[in-house]
Each structure stands twice: as C-alpha cells, then as structure tokens.
Amino acid sequence: MFFIYIFIAFIAGVALASQSAINTQLAKAVGGEPVIATFISFAVGTVLLFFIALFKADLWQGLTALPHQPWWKLLGGALGALAVFTTILLAPKLGITAMLFFIVIGQLLAASVIDHFGLIGMPVREVNITKLIGLAILVFGLVFYFFGDKILVLMKG
C-alpha cells in the first residue's frame, strides 16, 4: 500500500507542474491576469469537488460541522489559492522548473519543521541526522540541477 501512496504523490507532482503550465496559458487567455485564472481554476475545481463530495461522502453532514470549527482550519483553502496564484504568476517569469525548485525547498523546510514538532495536529516524526543528510542531498541535487551549468562555468573560469 505504501508504494501506491508514493505513486499518488508522484502523480500529484506531475499534476502540479502541468497545472502551472495550463493555468499560465489560461491567464494569457483572460487578459494576462493571474488572479482571474486562479479564480477560474478554483471555480472549476470547486464544481468538480462539489459533485464528488455529493455522491461519495456525506457533504451535508460535513458542512453542518463547519460553523463549529476554529477559523484557522479554513486557512487551507486560502493557502491553496495563494499557491495556485503564485504558480500562475511565477511560471512564466521563472520557468516551471525554477519555480518548482523554490516551492519544493519551501515545502521541505516547512514540512520538516511541522513533522519534527508535530505542529498543526500532525503526528511527531522526528527529523534526525540521517533525514537532515537526506534533505541536504536533495537540496544539493536541486541546486546542482538548477545552477549546475553556472557552477561549472565558475569552476572553470
């Protein structure tokens, strides 16, 4: 089952890169406005999720629990909108690879802190020296991927 979860995460990564490119083209089509493209993207996603939730879950029960939740539990949607907006804004300026490079670094650092301290109600998954080495290798790999040509030129010159 673990490998199925890894495969799903991989597909989500493919989707994120593809979504950035698709939404960038959508922004161009709606007057170069990333915020309008973000709105349309979320509206389409909302309609799709409405029907999935309607038929696959007890949507109404979930909605009735909503008023009893603390305000911060609703931040996920705002953060998601900000993330999509950011990808639409930055993909044409940085390129998808560079943009995702910095997004991945931010995700890994934030995820490590959340896991290590069990923040936001997540189970504690301590970050030890081997995990830090793994993160460092990954960061080095991303830096080399993104800046490798420039590093080699500097080393030769």
Q: Output the six-digit token pair for 70.
A: 């603390």
pLDDT in tens, 32-73: 999 999 999 999 999 999 999 999 999 999 999 999 999 999
Q: Output the six-digit token pair for 16.
A: 């994120």
Q: What is the CB neighbour count within 10 angstroms for residue 88? A: 26
Gap between the Cα atoms of 11 and 151, Å rounded: 31
pLDDT band, residue 154 (cuts 50/70/90) = confident
- Tokens 């390129």 belong to 95
Gap between the Cα atoms of 22 and 18, Å rounded: 6
Q: Which pLDDT does position 54 carry in this prediction?
A: 93
pTM exceeds 0.85: no
Gap between the Cα atoms of 39 and 27, Å rounded: 10
